[in-house]
Structure 1
Amino acid sequence: MKNPKILHRVYFDDRPPYRDPFTRFEATWAREMPDYEVKRWNSSNVNLEANEWMRRANAANSPVFLSEFVRWDVLKRFGGMYIDADCEILNGPKLAALIDELYASDDYDAFIGVEERANGHPTAQTIAAKPGSALVDFMHRMYDQHLSGPLWHWREERGLIGPQLMSLYFRDNGLTMNKGFFCNLDEPMTFARVKIYTQDYFSPKFTINGTQISRTKNTVIYHLFSNLNIDKIDPQADEHRRNPLLFDEYCEFLKNITTSQILPAAAPSRTAAITTSENLLLQFGGVRRPDGTLDYFRCMRFALRRPRFTAKLLLEKLVG
């Protein structure tokens, strides 16, 4: 099957937050993959009445949930690769080679990655597929039929979003371990006609404020994880979302970040490299409210769940 050389981008600039903050990210698509056509999908060329899911998302003025269906619809119709708007292409030639391998393969008809090694969630932000892909047909049917009704109300309450729904495809095809997720994946694998790549390919950073960078020779895409459907986020995450940094800029930001931006001032702040414990606290703690103040209940809960880590962190602060 011939590679159509299409990159699909979905952004509804007639819905909140209106202004497209990811134009610099899109510029890397053309720069890195000049032979590819970027198809831009929005209210002018998307059927907002395609099914009940789309009608409800349209009525709710919810562009993120409109895009949840649109990505599968355009992959079903055209094939190619869907990439979230908040993704930067870091290595176009290598990504093009992965897509060429997909179209040349008889063993799989789609590929994805995992968002983070430990959780193993499949990437709904980076999906390449041939027309007729079993995964794409499954997901299209989920939105077009099963989710087009009262299940709409559970989209956020019960996590009825891309990665969780994609896991149902793998469970339905016999993946019994880890509830359909690919936890601790260290090598690419193929399952149920889908090739699953390791975290470093498409998700070198997990979450918008992530501090653990896993860029390798395999890394082709950087995903910001802007989560535009979430209104209340901490101030630093909101700043990254409104004025997003490209990957190299974000890495430089991490080098220059100060401890005082992470923890309350119990001792004079230092501008040296962040300790390993502080990195972990940034990634797993979540101890601040959206306004940036400490939530002491969350602090206590975090301390009870990770007592040894908390003791180590306090010791570092005392001797630092």
Structure 2
Amino acid sequence: MIPKTIHYCWFGGKPLPPLAIKCLESWNKYLPDYEIIEWNESNFPVNSIPYTKEAAAKGKWAFVSDYARFYILYHNGGIYLDTDVQILKSLNPFLKHHSFSGFESKDRVAPGLILGAEKGCSLMKKLMNSYHERHFINQNGLLNEKTVVSYMTEELVSEGLILNGELQNIHDFIVYPIDFFSPKSLETGKLKITSNTYSIHHYAGSWMSNTSRLKRYVYLLIAKVPFVYKMYNKIYRKY
């Protein structure tokens, strides 16, 4: 059984932004009997592997948390949440699982939405160990900004996951449909809450570069105008 512990990462020493404070308030409201633990430079071994040491040196703290979540859950068990996740109701129904997460879209499983595991979970160990072989700074000096979403989705697909956005059990790792933990579209920003929805990921995107943020902002503006959005996607698919 997964323990009633919420883990989140906040590296870099800056104050929590208003959105994060609002989200943490929702955790306290709907998970009053859960222990909430913040992980930062004071209690996490940031320099323990080259990947996190290099990411930290560049101030790319979101990539440090990519590795940290697997390390934390493997050694402690519990539920990891990104700081931009708003909880809508109790997570107790998921504590019965060995481990679980959810689809962000039909082709992506995102451990930032939510990631739960018992202590000693073999999948958490495998994902944790995979980072031991990586570097954040490539030999050519460019940064390896491949996200944890890609790494985790690829690992699950290799173990039998079908990219269809539907409920699946992959060797006791339960992957929930999109509406459970990702009712807000990353692409359009539209929100579609159902009776199944337990949380909202607000996509603060702390890992994004300024260029990526600008592109996403423009895309979200386009998405608000149906005709323009339709033409944009038609041209985008063509090229």
TM-score band, normalised by the shorter chain? 0.7 to 0.9
Aligned twin of 2:93: 97
Unaligned segments of structure 1, at least 5 residues: 103-108, 241-260, 264-273, 286-298, 308-320
Q: d(CA) in 1 for partners of 2:179 and 2:154?
A: 23
CA-to-aligned-CA distance 1:49-95 (integer Å, 9 cap, x gap):
11111110111111111111111111011100000011000112xx2
Q: Supply the AA of the counterpart residue of 1:121.
A: R
Aligned residues of 1:9 and 1:40 also touching (Cα < 8 A)? yes
Matched, 1:196 2:196: no
* RMSD across aligned positions (CA): 2.8
Q: Which of the residues 96, 104, 108 maps onto 1:121?
A: 108
Q: Supply the AA of the counterpart residue of 1:304.
A: I
Q: d(CA) in 2 for partners of 1:28 and 1:194?
A: 26
Give how far 1:200 is off: 0.4
Aligned twin of 1:41: 39
Count matched residues.
Answer: 230
Q: d(CA) in 2 for partners of 1:111 and 1:235?
A: 31
SS of 1:155 mapped into structure 2? coil
Unaligned segments of structure 2, at least 5 residues: none
Give how far 1:235 is off: 9.1
* 1:1-320 aligned within 5 A: 1=1, 3-14=2-13, 18-21=14-17, 22-92=20-90, 95-99=91-95, 101-102=96-97, 109-117=98-106, 120-125=107-112, 126-143=114-131, 145-148=132-135, 153=142, 155-156=144-145, 160-173=146-159, 175=160, 182-186=162-166, 188-207=167-186, 209-211=188-190, 213-230=191-208, 231-232=210-211, 233-234=213-214, 237=217, 262=222, 277-278=226-227, 281=229, 302-305=233-236
Tell me the TM-score normalised to structure 2 length: 0.85
Change (3 A) 1:19 1:149: closer
Q: d(CA) in 1 for partners of 2:204 and 2:87?
A: 16
Q: d(CA) in 1 for partners of 2:68 and 2:154?
A: 19
Q: d(CA) in 2 for partners of 1:23 and 1:209?
A: 24
Structure with the greater alpha carbon radius of gyration? 1
Q: d(CA) in 1 for partners of 2:217 and 2:122?
A: 36
Q: d(CA) in 1 for partners of 2:138 and 2:12?
A: 26
Q: Supply the AA of the counterpart residue of 2:158.
A: D
Aligned twin of 1:250: none
Q: Supply the AA of the counterpart residue of 1:164.
A: S
SS of 2:100 mapped into structure 1? strand
More strand by share: 2
Give how far 1:19 is off: 3.3
* Percent identity of equivalent pairs: 23
Aligned residues of 2:54 and 2:137 also touching (Cα < 8 A)? no
Aligned residues of 1:206 and 1:225 also touching (Cα < 8 A)? no
Q: Which has the higher contact order (CA 8 A, sep 6+)?
A: 2
Q: Supply the AA of the counterpart residue of 1:38.
A: I
Q: Supply the AA of the counterpart residue of 2:180.
A: Y
Tell me the TM-score normalised to structure 1 length: 0.64
